[in-house]
Structure 1
C-alpha cells in the first residue's frame, strides 16, 4: 500500500543529468538506458546520490527501455528488471518503475507532441509488454511519466486498468498534444479514474506550468516534478534558457495537493535536497 497521507514524498531528480555530470555519455538516442545497459554500477551510484539528498522515491532508469525500440527485444526484459533492482539496492525508500511514452523510444522529439501516427489499439500494444514486465519486477509502483497526448493517456489507462497495480500517472504539461482547451484537465481525470492509480499530475514541463495544471486536476493526490526552467531543443539535442529554483515553488505545489514532489530534467541532488529543506 502506498501511503500518500502522512506527508508529501520527495521524488528524485534528473537521472540522465546526474549520470552526465558523473562523466557518462548520455548523448545517444538511448540516453540513460545506455548506461543502464553498459555500466549498471553508475546507475546504482546515481540513485544513491539522490537517496542521500533525501529522495523518498527513486525512479528507475527504464524510461527509454521498451520492446520494439533500439534495444533488441531479447535484452529488454533483463534491462527492465535490472533497472528496478539497481534502484532497490541504492536506497531504502520506494522504487517507482519508469514507464515513458512511445516517443521516448523513438528519440525524435515526438515525446513532446504525442504525434506518433498510432491508433489506440497500437498504442495499447506498444505499452502492454513493458508494463507487464515492470509490474512483475518488484517495484513498489509504476511511474507512468511524461505522457504527451490524451490518446496515449487513454491507451495507458486501459492497460493499467487491466493490470490493477499501484501507479502514478504524470503528463507532460507543455506538450502540444494538450493544446486544445481543457485537454490536459480531461486527461488528468481519465488517469485518476483508473483503479490502482494513487496520484496524477505533471512533469517534464516548465516550473511555471505546474500551478495552472494542478489547479485543473481532480481532487486526488497529485504529482509535480518539472524541469528546472531550461527548454529542450529536439532538433539540436541541446538545452537552452535559464534555470529556476524548484525549492522556491515546491511549497505551493504541496499546498495545491501535490503529495509526490521532485524534479525532472536538469535537476540535481542539490535541487532535491533544497526541496526537502523547503518542505520541512
Structure 2
C-alpha cells in the first residue's frame, strides 16, 4: 500500500487509513491478479497492520503467495513491530509459500533472516536495496558494489535465505554478480557430490 502512495510511507508504515481500507486495497488487486498468476508477491510490507490485512485477504482467496517485509534494523519492520510477529501473521496460512525481507539495508538482512529461520522452515527471501537510504524524497548514502553484495549473500544463504536478489537501486551488474555466484555455488556443490560418489 505504501508504494502506491508514493510518499515513502512503505518504509514507515504510518498509513492514515483504517484496516478496512487496507484490506479493500489488497483484495481488489488480488481478485484481478489471482486468476492470471502462478504466485502473487506482497512486497515491502512495513507494519503488522498491513500484514494482518494481507492475511485476511489471503484467507478469503488462498492463492500461492509470498510476503516480504520492509525493515528498519535487524529485528523490526519499518513501523517498529518485531519481524517475527509480522511474519507469524501470514505464516498461519498454508498458501504463503515463502516469507522474507526486501527493500531494507543489506547490513540488516543476516539478522532478519536468522530471526525468520527460527520461526519457520518455509523458504526465505532476501532482496534488499543497494545500501542507500530514502529520506526527504531522495536516496542518500553509499551504494554497495556488486562484489560486496555477493559477499553478503553468502552470509544470508548460510543464515537460511534461498531466494536472493536485489530491490531498489540495485543494478543489472548486482544481479549479474549474484547469478555468477549462484552458478559457481551450483558447480561447487556438483563437484563435491561427484567426488563423494567416486570415493565410495
Query: Under TM normalisation by the shorter chain, which class is it?
Result: 0.7 to 0.9
Report the TM-score when normalising by structure 2.
0.81
Q: Which residue of structure 1 lines up, in the alignment, with residue 71 of structure 2?
A: 173
Highest RCO, 1 vs 2 (Cα 8 Å, sep ≥ 6)? 1
Aligned mate of 1:274, from 177, 180, 191: 177
Contact (CA 8 Å) 1:146, 1:170: kept in 2 or not?
A: yes
Gaps of 5+ in 1: 1-101
**Secondary structure of the equivalent of 1:176?**
coil
The reply to whether residue 224 of structure 1 matches residue 117 of structure 2 is no
How many residue pairs match? The answer is 173
Q: Which residue of structure 1 lines up, in the alignment, with residue 195 of structure 2?
A: none
Q: Which residue of structure 2 lines up, in the alignment, with residue 156 of structure 1?
A: 54
Measured against aligned partners, the alpha-carbon deviations of 1:137-157 in whole angstroms (never above 9, x if no partner) come to 2x2211110001000000001
Measured against aligned partners, the alpha-carbon deviations of 1:3-60 in whole angstroms (never above 9, x if no partner) come to xxxxxxxxxxxxxxxxxxxxxxxxxxxxxxxxxxxxxxxxxxxxxxxxxxxxxxxxxx
The reply to whether residue 258 of structure 1 matches residue 161 of structure 2 is yes
Q: Which residue of structure 1 lines up, in the alignment, with residue 28 of structure 2?
A: 129
Identify, as 1 or 2, the structure richer in helix: 2
The reply to whether residue 185 of structure 1 matches residue 88 of structure 2 is no
Contact (CA 8 Å) 2:42, 2:68: kept in 1 or not?
A: yes
Measured against aligned partners, the alpha-carbon deviations of 1:107-138 in whole angstroms (never above 9, x if no partner) come to 1121111111222222111211111111122x
Task: Give 1 or 2 for the bigger CA radius of gyration.
Answer: 2
**Secondary structure of the equivalent of 1:202?**
strand
Contact (CA 8 Å) 1:161, 1:195: kept in 2 or not?
A: no
Q: State the superposition RMSD in angstroms.
A: 1.4
Query: Deviation of residue 169 (structure 1)?
Result: 0.3
